Structure formats: structure tokens, C-alpha cells
């Protein structure tokens, strides 16, 4: 499914892209825990998005595919048991009066039991989860 | 022909043929049944499978260290361990296709469908097993996914089983008669590019439940749970584990449905057995509904290509040809038997003379198929029915007359098909006329005319089908000439207890069909007692000596094989009772009858002994009997029924593949909303002919069940997959099995054409032959008319019907002549 969203962050684009390798700051982001750098462009963490059943922790790997002053591309793979979520997220940064306008689009594939059981609600859940975590991350940049 | 008959010249009351209330229902309705998860076991641990979220991926790592943190975690089984401890499951296909490496957990370092078990985790409780499973971390490298059979056989397609060398799992060709000549010279030829029979399943009420206890002292595995084909299960597990068959004990108690799919239970059962042995603790796995939909067994999905039918001006259908790709999902399991099973009904219900079929079994990244009610035959029957229907519409034949013209006529039975199968009996014209009466055909045609142009179209459909039963396992040799199978048997045991009570057990395992009742009816007639006086063993037990190699409940055979074995067993018991009675009553054996629980002298009913006296003497006073009687009699009749089937000609693919052919003709009336595509069933009727009925009420119940299942498949039930190979119908919210709210009152009728080949003229009939798919498709087509969209898929939800209303499929159907 293709999702998109937009928000305004107080930080500059440079500060935002710098987050992608800053495990310490990301540790302070709500919904993220056990953040560690596992490779040159890779972070591992537990991402616990909010769902109607409460927070569901996903063992998550975030790979930075590209990062430029005005854009970044991430590949996110989250797994829990026989559920998996893959997301290719494209970020665009544009200067705004109060900081940076962040526009994101995501190609999300939900796999496993959730692909069937949650097919009518995943779009909303994933959209909220991505928007929330990006905004929360931007707030600590 | 079999020598078995039920006539023992003793019965004075005939319970056979009566709608005796089901004996087992008293237990089941009072919640006194014992299903798979009900059996208490001391020290039981539970199994949870960690399954792949990916449809096709390489496993790069498995980390189970997190499980140790979970209270109650017992241990786990990993794929490498399973590969070390087991042999690959036996494959039925010859090389190179048999090089498939199928085991109880993902094999060869790969997963091949979403939902495939990768790690089996055991916990002291269900919750502990589940939580420990959630702590397992598996990393995957994704591979390209195949969800389309045509793509799977295209050049350059990713390969599921590297050792097989491609995605073709088997191939066979049939060329019966001369279809080339027929197509060249027929007055008319209809050509259809492609038809598709969709993927659905039987969705039994009770998912699989497997409990395994391992007795280390005796080196015996005991499995408890619904097992539809125990001897096959023992064979597969025994071969995988390298374990003696006599040290594998399978017990089934009450059993909430199978309809074929639970034949595949040996796969998870092997993992449960390994855990039970590894941890010396009984283990239970209770399948969830989503797990069942992932891997519990789907019906064969089949794509028919380049379909051509030859027809004469007078409406005579000469024959047809097609290629087909049979999408079996990721593993062959019971396949590629479907590659020959379809040919049991090669002629469908018609007098066609020419048939050419090119059949290819194909792997895709979907859940494995298992036999499902109407297994492999309904797909062929459906395509024949669709072509008959399309031909009638396109060429302007009356749909009723067209079928009546081409039906096999009552006086043509036994009828030999193009491939040598022998249809035993039937009266299709009478069945059709009866079912049309049940839907009030003329009135519905008037309604159809009245509604034309209102946006709510009326369509009337007819579906004719066969339920072939009592397999000739020799047909497996057409798949693989080296398979050591031929014919078919079933076992039965009937004995008298020390108080004169009667006990019976059969190798058939009932999962809702009412075997306890029908068995009791037939035995009661032979022993001169009432069905309530016969204690029929519930389910099955492989230690009770009532089995043969083909034992079980599948392929519509119990009324022939199971009942046949019990008849033969009861005959032996009757003979022993009379032997003892003759000695005690000082009367000729031939002058004795069994009546009312007594053995009596026919000419003098005052000279009689109750069964209790017979049993008491045999068991407690053998010294009171003549030596030759006491030495021989044990009041146990154990017998086998052998179906009279010869080996088919493997090279010519010719011979009789099943013993009986029940028929069903259905008719329905649908209303289609042009704006939404919603199809509403206004009327539905079915006429069954399964030979001599043993219990008409049970037959009607089974016909109703198969009808509802088929209507579900036609309109609601679909195992669709996303392009990523994710199942889209993983629960009953997304996979709608119909209920009474979705259905009109089903109108039932019957015709009785006794089989000349079976013990009492009965035929197997529980599968139903997929008649509703044929019927509903025909009704939708009838509503659309001949110059609109063409119904080319067996599943027609509103979105597809809307496309059909707008002409979908019309370009894929051509009248060549």
C-alpha cells in the first residue's frame, strides 16, 4: 500500500538526516527502544507502534538507502513472530518559516497473519505509525 | 464383481433404508463428545509454530536464545535438526519431480509460502509456547515470488525446488478417441482461451489438533486427533522418522470435519512427534483458523487453456480438448495424484467420444493443496459444464434439451467412458426433470422475462455432476508406474461381548457423516436386533485390527468399502452365533434365524437362546460346547471388503478407476443487481442419486452440506493471494463460509439407481462433485445472456459479476464454426 504524509519540524534538514546514524538521540524517541548502530547505514531497534490492541513491539532494521540535504530514502523491515512489515520510505525536506517541511511517502507491505487479518485496518495503522515516529524523531533532532 | 452381499436370511426387520435418527447426535448435542483438544493428558506441553511471513525467502539466521527468557519455555525444534532426524516425506511422483525435499519444517534453507512452519516451539502452556515463539528471531533474504501458474512455467521464472529443476511437478497427456478429427469435421467448434477454477478449501469446524505421546520404554508414538486416513498417515510418518509402523498408534475420537484436507496432517504431526521424543513429554498442537487457512490444505487451483469443444448441428457434443496448469502451491504432498484423479470422470455426465487433456502440475508460492471434497474431479467437471453451458448459449440450444440430448441415458449403464472407466448406474434425465420441478422452472422462466430490463436480471442455471467413489489405487501407477498400489480394500470387525452385546469397528473414520448410525443399521438387520443395540466404535484406532492399507474416510467410499467390510465381518459373526446355537439347541445350523436378540429355530420359535446365553457359553463355559465348536468359535468377525477393480493399462491410461458414480443434478435461480453485481439466490434445488440409500436422512444432510460448501465456493469463499504471496483470506472475516443467512431454503429430491457393483447397491456420495459451482456459474451466464460477458471463473463475487455485466470475458470465447 502507498501512504503519504506531511509535517513541519523545527530542525533543519541537516539535523534531520543526521539522526539516521544517531542511536543515542533516537533512543529518546517515543516508540523506539534498544536502538543500536549495526552497520554503516543500518540501525537496529525495537519499534512499538500504537495499535488498537496496544503497542506491538517489532524487531526493526532501518537502512538508509540514500541521504541528501533535501531528501532521504529508508528501507524499514519490522518482524514479530510470523508478522512482518516492510516499508520503503522516501523523505523530502523543504525549508519552511518555522523549520523544515517533511513530506513522506511510503510503500508498505504487510506480511504474515497481519496481511490477512489486518488488511482493512493496516493502512490507517501504518500511516499513523510512520507519521508519529517520524514527527517524534524530528522533535529530538 | 464383488461377492459381498448383506443377505444372511436371518433378518426380519429392515433398518437399512430408514431415516433412523443419528445415534452419535445424542452424545454430540449433549456436549459429551471428545474432540482433539478435549482429551486430558498428564504433563501435556503445547506446540506453537513460528511461521514465515514471506512467501519465498532464504533463511539466513535463526536465533532462539530469547526463548530462554520466557517462563514455561520447554524447547524447540529447528529446521536443521528436523532435516537430520527425518527423511524427506515420501513423494508419489517419479524422478526428477520426486527430488522435492519436503519435511515437517522449512527445508533446504528456504521458505516457499507465507505461513510455512520454520521453528516448532514447545511450552508448558499454550501461552508459554506462543510467547516463546514470539521471541524467536529469524532473518530472511527475500526471493522473487510466484503466485501465478502461468508465470511459474515461463522461462526465467524463479524456482521453488532447485532439486526438481523447475516449477513443473508432474506432466501427463491423455488423448482418447480422435479429437483432432472431431474438431476438424464437427459442424461447430467453440473455443475459449482460458478458464480458471479458483482456490478455496473445506474449512472444517474443528481445525487440526494433534497430540503425541512418546513411550520411550516401548519406542511407541501415540497420536491422538482427527485423522481421516490413518494408515496413510502412519506410512508417511513412519517413513519420515524411520520408525516401525507397528510402533505408531493413531487414535481418533470425535472429529469435527475433514472433507479431505486432514489427509495432510502427517506434516505437522511429524514435528510434534519429534518434540515429544526430544523432551520426553506429551505434546499438543492446536491449529488456529489462520494456520489452517495457510497450510491446512487448499483445493487444486486449475487454469484451463485453449479449450475447444466440437458440436454437431443436432446438439450432439463430440468431445473437447484443453491444456491445464494445476497450481498445487509450494509442496506436492498428496499431489500429483490430482493429475489422474480427474480422469475418473473423464466423460463428466455426457456421451462424449473424444477427449484430449494435457495436464501439468505446477509449484507456486502458495499454501499446499490437499484433497478437498470433490478432489480434482470437480475442476474437470466444472470446465466440461462451463463448456456445455457456453456452447448452448452461443449456438442457441435450449439448455435443458442440450443436456438431455448429451446425457448418458439410463439404458446405457454400465457405461464405459473414453478412458475405460465404468459408470455403474444412474438416471440423469429423471434427475434433471425432477430438479427443474423443484425450482418451478417454467414459472422462473416467466419471471426472467418479466424482469428483463429492470436492472435486476434473473438467471436459471443447471449443474450436472458426478461423485466418483471407491478409488482404484492402481490409478496412481498412471502417475508413477513404480508405485505399488492396486485396487482398494477396507477392514471391519464385529464381535459379541460376554453379555451378548454387539460391538463394531471399521477402518473408516467418521468426521460427521453418521457412520455409527449407518453401520448400526446394516449390522442390526443382519443380526436381527435394533441399531441402538449395536455399539459402533467412535472415530478410529489403529490398534483395533480393523484396518487395511487404504483405510480411512475419503473419496466417497464408506457406504461401499466400510459397510462392505462390516457386512462381511457380520456374516462371520452370524455364522459363529449359529454354530454355537446349533450345538446348544441341537438343531441344524441352516434352520436357525437371528431375531430380537435371540437365535431361534425357524420352524419352532419356542426353541431359542438369547445372545447372552450364546456369549456366556462361549466365554465362560466352553467346556459345555463340542470340542470342534469351542476350538473354532470366538464370536469375532473380522473381514475385509475388496473392491472388484483391476489394474488400469498404465501406458494407455485406460481402465476403471473407481467403482461407483453417484450423480447429482442441481438447478438454481439467481437475481443479479446490475448496479452492484450482487448475486442473490432466489431458489436452489438438488436431486441426488447415490443408489440404494442406507439412511435417506443422512444422505440428504450430506447433500445439503456439500451444496452449501459449493455455493460458498461459487460466491464467497476464495483463497486469493496478493502479488507478494500473502494469503488474503486468513480468517472467517475475509473468507466467508456461508450460513443460513446467505441461502434460500434448499429443495431436495432423490432418484434411486442401485449400483450393480456394490454389496447393497449403495454408492459413496459425501463429496458432492462441486455441483453448485457448475450451477451458479450457469445461472449467472443465463442472466447475462449469450452476447455479454462470459463466466470463465468458478468464483464470482460481486466485483467480478459487475465486470461480467459490462462484458468481461466475451472476447475470450469464439465460435470458430
Alpha carbon distance B241, B87 (integer Å): 6
Nearest CA in chain B to A111: B53
Which triple of cell numbers denotes residue B419? 478412458
Name which of A79, A80, A115 is nearest B726 (Cβ-Cβ). Answer: A115
Contact list, A42 vs chain B (CB under 8 Å): none
Q: What is the DSSP letter of B549?
A: T
CB-nearest partner of B724 from A79, A111, A116: A111
Cα separation of B510 and B552, whole Å?
Answer: 8
CB-nearest to A112 from B53, B134, B734 is B53
Collapsing DSSP states into helix, strand and coil, what is residue B564? helix
Chain B positions in Cβ-Cβ contact with residue A59 (cut-off 8 Å): 137
Across chain B, mean pLDDT equals: 96
Report the residue from A111, A113, A116 with minimal CB separation from B54. Answer: A111
Name the nearest CA neighbour of B166 among B97, B109, B102.
Answer: B97
Cα(B705)–Cα(B711) distance, integer angstroms: 10
Q: Which chain A residue's Cα is nearest to B135? A: A81
Closest CB to B722: pick one of A83, A115, A117: A115
pLDDT for position B786: 86
Note whether B138 contacts A116, CB cutoff 8 Å. no
Contact B54 A109 (CB under 8 A): no
Global pTM? 0.95
* Buried b or exposed e, range B561-590, using 16+ CB within 10 angstroms: bbbbbbbbbbbbbbebbbbbbbbbbebeee
How does pLDDT run across B47-104, given as a tens digit for each residue?
999 999 999 999 999 999 999 999 999 999 999 999 999 999 999 999 999 999 999 9
**Residue B394 — φ and ψ, nearest 5°?**
-70, -35
Strand positions, DSSP E, B624-701: 636-642, 658-673, 679-689
Give CA separation, B278 vs B77, B215, B274, B734, in Å: 9, 12, 6, 38
Q: What is the DSSP letter of B806?
A: T
Alpha-carbon distance B788 to B807, whole Å?
5
Among A79, A109, A116, select the one facing B290 at the smallest CB separation: A116
Q: What is the pLDDT of residues A16-56, one digit of tens each?
A: 888 888 899 999 999 999 999 988 899 999 999 988 888 98
Tell me the C-alpha distance between B780 and B802, whole Å: 11
Q: Over pLDDT 90: what percentage of chain B?
A: 97
* Largest Cα–Cα separation, chain B: 88
DSSP B574-605: HHHHHHHHHHHHTS-GGGEEEETTEEEETTEE
User: Could you tell me which chain A residue has the CA closest to the CA of B733?
Assistant: A117
pLDDT of residue B8: 45
For residues B88 and B242, the answer to whether their CB atoms sit within 8 Å is no
Between chains, do A111 and B53 touch, taking CB under 8 Å as contact?
yes
The size of the A-B interface in CB pairs under 8 A is 60
> Which of B133, B724, B734 is nearest residue A116 as measured by Cβ atoms?
B734
At B750-770, the pLDDT tens digits run: 999 999 999 999 999 999 889
Burial class (CB in 10 A: 0-12, 13-18, 19+), B28: middle
> Worst-scoring range by mean pLDDT, A118-132, B132-146, B470-484, B769-783?
A118-132
Q: What residue has cell string 491445464?
A: B324
The yes/no answer to whether this complex scores an ipTM above 0.90 is no
Grid cell listed for B730: 486468513
Residue of B nearest to A120 (CA): B734
Tell me what the mean pLDDT of segment B492-512 comes to. Answer: 96
What is the helix (H) or strand (E) element at residue B302, kind and residue range? strand B301-311
Q: Which of A46, A108, A111, A114 to mutate: most B Cβ within 10 Å?
A: A111
Which residue bears the cell 480422469? B343
d(CA B85, CA B79): 10
Q: What is the nearest CA distance from B734 to chain A, expressed in angstroms?
A: 7
Chain A positions touching B731 (Cβ under 8 A) are: 116-117
Q: CA of B290, closest CA in chain A: separation in Å?
A: 7
Answer yes or no: do A84 and B54 touch at CB < 8 A: yes
| CA dist., res. B440 & res. B457, Å (int) | 17
Torsion-angle region of residue A85: left (phi > 0), alpha (psi -120 to 50) or beta? beta
- State the smallest CA–CA distance between residue A58 and chain B in angstroms: 10
pLDDT over threshold 60, residue B357: yes
Question: Hey, is B168 helix, strand or coil?
Answer: strand
Scan for cell 489427509, then name that residue: B263
A82 and B137: CB-CB below 8 Å? no
* Contact state of B290 with A111 under an 8 Å Cβ cutoff: no
The shortest C-alpha distance from B132 to chain A (Å) reads 10
**What secondary structure letter does DSSP report for B689?**
E
CA pair distance B150, B813, nearest whole angstrom: 19
Q: Which of these, A30, A82, A23, A86, lies nearest to A60 by C-alpha position?
A: A86
Q: Which residues, in sequence order, are bridge partners of residue B666?
A: B463, B686
Phi, psi of B278 (to 5 degrees): -65, -40
Contact B730 A117 (CB under 8 A): yes
Q: Using the beta-carbon criterion (under 8 Å), do B726 and A110 form an inter-chain contact?
A: yes
User: What are the tens digits of pLDDT across the range A82-121?
Assistant: 889 999 999 999 998 888 999 999 999 999 988 887 788 8
3-class DSSP state of B464: strand
Is the pLDDT at B12 greater than 80? The verdict is no
Q: Which of B51, B53, B134, B717 to mutate to test the interface with A (most CBs of A within 10 A)?
A: B53
DSSP B39: -
Q: Nearest-CA neighbor of B688 among B621, B634, B762, B616?
A: B762
HEC-encoded secondary structure of chain A: CEEEEEEEECCCHHHHHHHHHCHHHHCCCCCEEEEEEEECCEEEEEECCEECCEECCEEEEEEEEEEECCEEEEEEEEEECCEEEEEEEEEEEEEECCEEEEEEEEEEEEEEHHHHHCCCCHHHHHHHHHHHHHHHHHHHC
Nearest to B52 by CA among B125, B127, B145: B145
Q: Distance between CA atoms of B225 and B584, rounded to whole angstroms?
A: 45
Length of chain A: 141
Q: Residues for chain B: how many in total?
A: 817
In the block, cell 462381511 appears at: B568
Evaluate whether B539 touches B510 at the Cβ level (below 8 Å).
Answer: yes
Which runs of consecutive H residues, i.e. helices, occur in B242-321? 266-279, 289-295
Mean pLDDT within B118-133:
97
Sequence-separated (6 or more) residues with CB below 8 Å from residue B41: B211, B213, B224, B282, B284
**Facing residues of B658 across strands?**
B471
State CA A19 to chain mean position distance. Answer: 12
Across the interface, whether the CB atoms of B114 and A59 are under 8 A apart is answered no
B435 in helix, strand or coil? helix
Among B52, B724, B729, whose Cβ lies nearest the Cβ of A82? B52
Residues of B near A (Cβ–Cβ under 8 Å) read 50-55, 114-115, 133-134, 136-138, 290, 293, 722, 724, 726-731, 733-734
Here the cell at position B385 is 459444464
Cα–Cα distances in Å, from A44 out to B71, B739, B800? 26, 47, 44
User: Quick one: how far is CA B733 from the chain centroid?
Assistant: 25
What SS3 state is found at B415?
Answer: strand
pLDDT score of B3: 38
Spatial distance between the Cα atoms of B554 and B334, rounded to a whole number of angstroms? 13
Taking CB atoms and an 8 Å cutoff, what residues of chain B touch A110? 726
Q: How far apart are CA B310 and CA B307, in angstroms?
A: 10
- Phi/psi at B482 (5° precision): -95, 0
How confident is residue B13, by pLDDT bands cut at 50, 70 and 90?
low
Pick the closest to residue B226 from B583, B613, B553, B562 (CA basis). B553
Q: Which residue of B has its CA nearest to A116?
A: B728
Chain A residue numbers with beta carbons less than 8 Å from the beta carbon of B722 are: 115
Test B53 with A83 for CB contact under 8 angstroms.
yes
As a whole-number percent, the residues of chain B with pLDDT over 70 amount to 98
- The distance of A113 to chain B (nearest Cα, Å) reads 7
- H-type alpha helices, B1-51: 23-29
Question: A115: which chain B residues are within 8 Å (Cβ-Cβ)?
Answer: 53, 114, 722, 724, 726-728, 730
Q: Omega of the bond prior to B336 within 30 degrees of 0, cis?
A: yes
B290 contacts on A by Cβ (under 8 Å): 113, 116-117
- Which residues of B fall within a CB distance of 8 Å from A113? 115, 290, 730
Beta carbons within 10 angstroms of residue A103's beta carbon? 14
Spatial distance between the Cα atoms of B285 and B212, rounded to a whole number of angstroms: 9
Cα of B243 to nearest chain A Cα, Å:
32
Q: What one-character DSSP code corresponds to residue B124?
A: S
Cell 446467505 belongs to residue: B742
Interface residues of A toward B, Cβ cutoff 8 Å, are 59, 79-84, 109-113, 115-117, 119
Are A82 and B50 an interchain contact pair (Cβ–Cβ within 8 Å)? Answer: yes
Residue B204 in 3-state DSSP? coil
Chain A residue with Cα closest to B721: A116
Structure confidence at residue A51 (pLDDT): 84
Maximum pairwise Cα distance, chain A:
44
pLDDT for residue B4: 42
DSSP code per residue over B213-255: EEETTTTEEEEES--SSHHHHHHHHHHHHT--GGGEEEEE-S-
Question: Mutate which of B134, B722, B723, B726 to disrupt the A interface (most A C-beta within 10 Å)?
Answer: B726
Residue B222 contacts by C-beta under 8 Å, 6 or more apart in sequence?
B212, B213, B214, B215, B249, B250, B251
Nearest CB to B730; choose among A59, A81, A113: A113
Amino acid at each position: 500500500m502507498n501512504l503519504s504524509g506531511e509535517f513541519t519540524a523545527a530542525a533543519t534538514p541537516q539535523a534531520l538526516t543526521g539522526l539516521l546514524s544517531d542511536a543515542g538521540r533516537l533512543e529518546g524517541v517515543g516508540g523506539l527502544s534498544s536502538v543500536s548502530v549495526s552497520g554503516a547505514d543500518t540501525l537496529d531497534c525495537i519499534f512499538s507502534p500504537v495499535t488498537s490492541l496496544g503497542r506491538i513491539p517489532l524487531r526493526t532494521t532501518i537502512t538508509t538507502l540514500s541521504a541528501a540535504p533535501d531528501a532521504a530514502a529508508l528501507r524499514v523491515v519490522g518482524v514479530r513472530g510470523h508478522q512482518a512489515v516492510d516499508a520503503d520510505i522516501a523523505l523530502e525536506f523543504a525549508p519552511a518559516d518555522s523549520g523544515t517541511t517533511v513530506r513522506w511517502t511510503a510503500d508498505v507491505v504487510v506480511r504474515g497473519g497481519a496481511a490477512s487479518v489486518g488488511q482493512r485496518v493496516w493502512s490507517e495503522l501504518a500511516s499513523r505509525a510512520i507519521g508519529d515516529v517520524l514527527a517524534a524523531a524530528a522533535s529530538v533532532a | 464383481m464383488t461377492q459381498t452381499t448383506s443377505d444372511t436370511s436371518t433378518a426380519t426387520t429392515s433398518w437399512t433404508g430408514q431415516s433412523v435418527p443419528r445415534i452419535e447426535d445424542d452424545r454430540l448435542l449433549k456436549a459429551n463428545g471428545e474432540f482433539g483438544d478435549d482429551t486430558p493428558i498428564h504433563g501435556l506441553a503445547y506446540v506453537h509454530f513460528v511461521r514465515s511471513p514471506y512467501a519465498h525467502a532464504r533463511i539466513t539466521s535463526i536465533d532462539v536464545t530469547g526463548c530462554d527468557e520466557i517462563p514455561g519455555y520447554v524447547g524447540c525444534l529447528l529446521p536443521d535438526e528436523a532435516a537430520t532426524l527425518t527423511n524427506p516425506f515420501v513423494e508419489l511422483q517419479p524422478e526428477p519431480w520426486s527430488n522435492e525435499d519436503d519435511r515437517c519444517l522449512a527445508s533446504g534453507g528456504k521458505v516457499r509460502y507465507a505461513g510455512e512452519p520454520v521453528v516448532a516451539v514447545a511450552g508448558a502452556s499454550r501461552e508459554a509456547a506462543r510467547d516463546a515463539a514470539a521471541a524467536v528471531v529469524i532473518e530472511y533474504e527475500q526471493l522473487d515470488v510466484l503466485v501465478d501458474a502461468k508465470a511459474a512455467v515461463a522461462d526465467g521464472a524463479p524456482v521453488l525446488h532447485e532439486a526438481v529443476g523447475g516449477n513443473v511437478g508432474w506432466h501427463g497427456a491423455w488423448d482418447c478417441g480422435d479429437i483432432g478429427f472431431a474438431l476438424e469435421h464437427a459442424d461447430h467448434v467453440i473455443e475459449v482461451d482460458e478458464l480458471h477454477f479458483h482456490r478455496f478449501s473445506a474449512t472444517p469446524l474443528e481445525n487440526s489438533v494433534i497430540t503425541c505421546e512418546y513411550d520411550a520404554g516401548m519406542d511407541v508414538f501415540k497420536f491422538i486427533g482427527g485423522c481421516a486416513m490413518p494408515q496413510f498417515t502412519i506410512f508417511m510418518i513412519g517413513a519420515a522418522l524411520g520408525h516401525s509402523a507397528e510402533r505408531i498408534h493413531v487414535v481418533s475420537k470425535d472429529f469435527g470435519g475433514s472433507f479431505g484436507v486432514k489427509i495432510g496432517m502427517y506434516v505437522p504431526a511429524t514435528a510434534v512427534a519429534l518434540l515429544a521424543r526430544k523432551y520426553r513429554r506429551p505434546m499438543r498442537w492446536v491449529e488456529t483458523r489462520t494456520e489452517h487457512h495457510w497450510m491446512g490444505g487448499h483445493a487444486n487451483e486449475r487454469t484451463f487453456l485453449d479449450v475447444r469443444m466440437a458440436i454437431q448441428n443436432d446438439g450432439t457434443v463430440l468431445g473437447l480438448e484443453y491444456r491445464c496448469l494445476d497450481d498445487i502451491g509450494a509442496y506436492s504432498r498428496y499431489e500429483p495424484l490430482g493429475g489422474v484423479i480427474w480422469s475418473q470422470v473423464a466423460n463428466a455426465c455426457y456421451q462424449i467420444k473424444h477427449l484430449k487433456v494435457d495436464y501439468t502440475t505446477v509449484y507456486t508460492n502458495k499454501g499446499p493443496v490437499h484433497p478437498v471434497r470433490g478432489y480434482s474431479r470437480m475442476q474437470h467437471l466444472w470446465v466440461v459444464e462451463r463448456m456445455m453451458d457456453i456452447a448452448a448459449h452461443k449456438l442457441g440450444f435450449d439448455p435443458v434439451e442440450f443436456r438431455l440430448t448429451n446425457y448418458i441415458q439410463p439404458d446405457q449403464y454400465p457405461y464405459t467412458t473414453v478412458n475405460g472407466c465404468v459408470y455403474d448406474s444412474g438416471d440423469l434425465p429423471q434427475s434433471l426433470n425432477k430438479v427443474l420441478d423443484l425450482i418451478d422452472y417454467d414459472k422462473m422462466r416467466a419471471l426472467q422475462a418479466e424482469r428483463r430490463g429492470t436492472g435486476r436480471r434473473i438467471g436459471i442455471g443447471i449443474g450436472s455432476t458426478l461423485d466418483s467413489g471407491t478409488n482404484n489405487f492402481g490409478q496412481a501407477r498412471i502417475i508413477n508406474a513404480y508405485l505399488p498400489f492396486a485396487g482398494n480394500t477396507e477392514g471391519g470387525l464385529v464381535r459379541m461381548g460376554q453379555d451378548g452385546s454387539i460391538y463394531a469397528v471399521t477402518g473408516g473414520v467418521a468426521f460427521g457423516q453418521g457412520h455409527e448410525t449407518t453401520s448400526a443399521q446394516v449390522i442390526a438387520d443382519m443380526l436381527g436386533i435394533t441399531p441402538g443395540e449395536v455399539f459402533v466404535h467412535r472415530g478410529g484406532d489403529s490398534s483395533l485390527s480393523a484396518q487395511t492399507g487404504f483405510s480411512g474416510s475419503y473419496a466417497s467410499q464408506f457406504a461401499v468399502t466400510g459397510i462392505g467390510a462390516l457386512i462381511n465381518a457380520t456374516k462371520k459373526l452370524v455364522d459363529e452365533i449359529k454354530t454355537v446355537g446349533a450345538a446348544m439347541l441341537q438343531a441344524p445350523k441352516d434352520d436357525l434365524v437371528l431375531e430380537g436378540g435371540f437365535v431361534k429355530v425357524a420352524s419352532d420359535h419356542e426353541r431359542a437362546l438369547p445372545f447372552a446365553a450364546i456369549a456366556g457359553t462361549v466365554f465362560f463355559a466352553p467346556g459345555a460346547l463340542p470340542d470342534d465348536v469351542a476350538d473354532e468359535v470366538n464370536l469375532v468377525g473380522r473381514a475385509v471388503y475388496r473392491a472388484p477393480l483391476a489394474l488400469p493399462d498404465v501406458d494407455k491410461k485406460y481402465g476403471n478407476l473407481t467403482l461407483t458414480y453417484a450423480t447429482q443434478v442441481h438447478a438454481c435461480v439467481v437475481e443479479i443487481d446490475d448496479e452492484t453485481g450482487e448475486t442473490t439466490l432466489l431458489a436452489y434445488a438438488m436431486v441426488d442419486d447415490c443408489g440404494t440409500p442406507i439412511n435417506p436422512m443422512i444422505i440428504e444432510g450430506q447433500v445439503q452440506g456439500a451444496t452449501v460448501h459449493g455455493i460458498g465456493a461459487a460466491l464467497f469463499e476464495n483463497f486469493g493471494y496478493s502479488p507478494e504471496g500473502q494469503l488474503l483470506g486468513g480468517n472467517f472475516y475475509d473468507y466467508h463460509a456461508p450460513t443460513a443467512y446467505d441461502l434460500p431454503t434448499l429443495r431436495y429430491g432423490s432418484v434411486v439407481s442401485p449400483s450393480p457393483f456394490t454389496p447393497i447397491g449403495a454408492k459413496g456420495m459425501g463429496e458432492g462433485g462441486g455441483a453448485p459451482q457448475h450451477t451458479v456459474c450457469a445461472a449467472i451466464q443465463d442472466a447475462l445472456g449469450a452476447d455479454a460477458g462470459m463466466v470463465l471463473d468458478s468464483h464470482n463475487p460481486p466485483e467480478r459479476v459487475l465486470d461480467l455485466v459490462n462484458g468481461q470475458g466475451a472476447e475470450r470465447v469464439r465460435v470458430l464454426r
